[in-house]
Homo-oligomer: A and B are copies of this chain.
Amino acid sequence: MANASLASLVYFLPLAFCMLSPGHILGAQEKTPLAVMPMPAGVVPGKGEFAINGNFGIALEGYKEPRLERARQRFLETLSRETGIPLWREASLNRPHFIVRTAGPSAAVQQMGEDESYHLEISTTDIQLTAANPIGVIRGLQTFLQLVRITPISFTVPAVVIDDRPRFPWRGLLIDSGHRFIPASAVKRNLDGMEAVKLNVFHWRFADNQGFHIESKQFPLLQERGSGGFYYSQDEVRDVIAYARDRGIRVVPEFDMPCHTASWFMGYPELAGGQDPSGSSAMDPTREETYRFLARFIKEMADLFPDSYFHTGGDECDAKEWVNNPRIQEFMRAHGIKDGAGLQALFTRRIENIVASRKKIMEGWDEVLQPETPKEIVIQSWRGQDSLAEAVRSGHPGVLSSGYYIDLNQSAAEHYMVDPVGAGAATLTSSEKARVLGGEATMWTDIVSDENMDNRIWPRTAAIAERLWSPQELQDIDSMYQRLAIVSQKLTYYGLRHRLITDEMLERMTGEPDPVPLKVLAAVVQPPRMYERQELRSYSDFTPLNHLDDAVPPESDTAREFNAIAKRIALGKASPRDWQQAQGWLTLWRDNDAKLQPLLVRSYLTQELAPLSRNLSQVAEIGLQALNDLHENRLVSTEARQRNIDFLKASEKPQAVLRLMVAPSVELLVQANRTQ
């Protein structure tokens, strides 16, 4: 069974793994097969396991370069953190058991579509990793790190043969350093996270209306007047690019134009397309000076960023500024341009010429797609698979971001089920599908800061990474969540802060070193999905993001688990443990309000949570009653039941910009009660 397809293996593995060590009590790491994300394309489980101890060593053979040596050292450091064994000192390299063979170099600048495949063979005595180039090696090392687990004997990796390669060549994460400045250190630790889940494109967005956050030597007033003092120096940018290259990650810069550009006009008002530059957010597409400026600027940035792709944004242009400007109206009349879209198309053609003259391939958001748009331009779709399909049918390569907007507080499962060639793109022909390059998770920072960014990106982005790397058939959501929990823990060894943020922010909100009752509430609430947050609180780019809706993860694990239990109870399929767990949780929630209220009044950041806490208590009270009635098989009055359902429905409405996630599950219990 060499290279078995994954779909069958996922279900085959649990049994195989249980057989590895008879009598071995299963821990969380083993409830699920190969706790790896993304799941490799081909897996053949072996027998036994390889033990990691202080004599562990790893040697490079074949093609060598400093990047490989650094990857090896980084691997040892991560493995040391994973195990607590100081392997980075390499006590014994007399006979390394882990041999890495690299056939040859990769491109001097990492190219889209380069070979990322690797072959990893783990026996009880030896490990072999082979790859065509350093990128494949980097991928294989990460798989190994995820396989490490603790057993009664030692840290081990299971014997296995893995043949792996990605499904899509473009697997990205956008970090928006335009709305809010994100320090380079935060960028770097997220590049470590990207490496861990085999993402290979860092889409770095530098400017928006709120700020211009990169140094231009050609036009220094951009950062001097537009950044509030916070911008990346070009040396810092080069450092990040090198850091990304070490991890097999390309860096595609985005300079969004002609709109979202108010911050450019702080230093260069002559670029503005509105009559009053200080109120303007769109560039003037009608003046030759604009293009002369952009030609110089794009040359500078194209030289700074070695990648072949160059993103010029192009999204969400509001034509009002243009059509309200008599000079631009005049131009449009003179050139027979009938609307803003036409004007933007003209702008796009000019920019595409400039970008092409720098030997770069232009990328843009959906809006740059016009009948006359040159076919090599890559369309990044924020509008959905229909829009992506339209771009691809008309001959463009496309990248999907719709469905991967990790700032919108959707569940990992929702993101996971979005496929770049699914939904509206499913009917593409296979040659059209080949133009779907992949997808990108987007970390917009309108209402996320560098402080809480990690808990928006991780662990959910690992689910998106799996969608983009692993076979399309892989769709088991339970398996995904089981593995996601383990990967989430492993990401801690890369310095990611997603698991620390909530507690730290809760402590700050209360001034208490361990505000347990607030933690209980925090575990069952979520910020509302999609764009509802902005409707519930007004946000500017100076708004402190230090409330509970900023602190909690986008997805409540507790609420999801409680929901699964409530479903089983309602269906009569619950175990005694389920009943016990439901009872325990509901009691905890019912009794929490009395402990939490005295805490809430002490801090201006928690006072708004009082009604939410009361609601949790009342919802839990209803839940306990329903649970009890179900257990005793008691009949309840239709009227009382309806009253409870009404209350539960009402309590689903956001309060303090948070949704109480357990109310729908309690409703399941109430609905399951038999009426008189």
Interface of A is mostly: loop
Report if A28-B513 is in contact (Cβ < 8 Å); known contacts: A86-B449, A604-B151: yes
Q: Decide yes or no whether A507 CB sits under 8 A from chain B.
A: yes
CB <8 Å contact, B86 and A602: no
> A371: CB under 8 A from chain B?
no
Interface pair B150/A84, CB less than 8 Å apart: no
Given A25-B601, A84-B505, A598-B25; A150-B544 close (CB under 8 Å): no
Known: A154-B604, A603-B152. A28 touches B83 (CB 8 A): no
Using A504-B492, A544-B54, A544-B83 as known contacts, say yes or no to A602 and B151 having CB atoms under 8 A apart. yes
Q: Quick one: which of A74-117 are within 8 Å of B by CB?
A: 81-86, 88-91
- A228-B89, A489-B513 known; A82 vs B150 contact (CB < 8 Å): no
Interface flag for A545 (CB, 8 Å) = yes
B601 close to A152 (CB less than 8 A): yes
Contact A542 B602 (CB under 8 A): no
Residues of chain B within 8 A of A451, CB atoms compared:
81, 84
With a cutoff of 8 Å between Cβ atoms, the chain B residues found around residue A508 in the complex are 82-84, 150
Nearest Cβ in chain B — how far from A663, in angstroms?
24
Contact with A27, one of B154, B505, B602 (Cβ below 8 angstroms) = B602
Copies in the complex: 2
Which residues from B are CB-within-8-Å of A230? 88-89
- Asked if A602 and B512 make an inter-chain contact with CB atoms under 8 angstroms apart, the answer reads no
- For A28, the chain B residues whose CB sits under 8 A away are 511-513
**A602 in contact with B152 given A85-B544, A86-B542 (CB within 8 Å):** yes
Which residues of A219-272 are within 8 A (CB) of B? Answer: 228-230
- Bitwise interface map of A from 163 to 180 toward B, beta carbon under 8 Å scored 1, else 0: 000000000000000000
Binary contact track A499-537/B, C-beta < 8 Å → 1, others 0: 010001101111111000000000000000000000000
Residues 347 to 382 of chain A near chain B (Cβ within 8 Å) = none
Report A248 CB to chain B, min CB distance, Å. 24
Tell me which residues across on chain B come within 8 A of A142, comparing CB atoms. none
A229 and B510 CA atoms in complex are apart in Å by: 46
A546–B83 touching, CB < 8 Å: yes
Please measure, in the bound complex, the distance between the C-alpha atom of A510 and the C-alpha atom of B149, giving whole angstroms.
9
Residue A153, interface by CB 8 Å: yes
A488 at the binding interface (Cβ < 8 Å): yes
CB < 8 Å neighbour of A510 from B90, B150, B513: B150
The answer to whether B604 and A84 have CB atoms under 8 Å apart is: no
Contact with A607, one of B152, B492, B601, B603 (Cβ below 8 angstroms): B152
B residues near A636, Cβ cutoff 8 Å: none
Q: Is A485 positioned at the interface, with any CB of B under 8 Å from its CB?
A: yes
Partner of A149, one of B81, B511, B601: B511
A29 near B: Cβ within 8 Å? yes
6 other contacts beyond A150-B602, A150-B603, A150-B604, with CB at 8 A cut-off? A27-B603, A54-B542, A83-B508, A84-B508, A89-B542, A150-B605
Q: A: which residues have CB within 8 A of B? A: 25, 27-29, 54, 81-86, 88-91, 149-154, 228-230, 449, 451, 485-486, 488-489, 492, 500, 504-505, 507-513, 542, 544-546, 550, 598, 601-605, 607
8 smallest CB-CB distances across A and B, nearest first, come from A84-B546, A85-B544, A150-B511, A27-B602, A150-B603, A29-B511, A489-B513, A91-B542
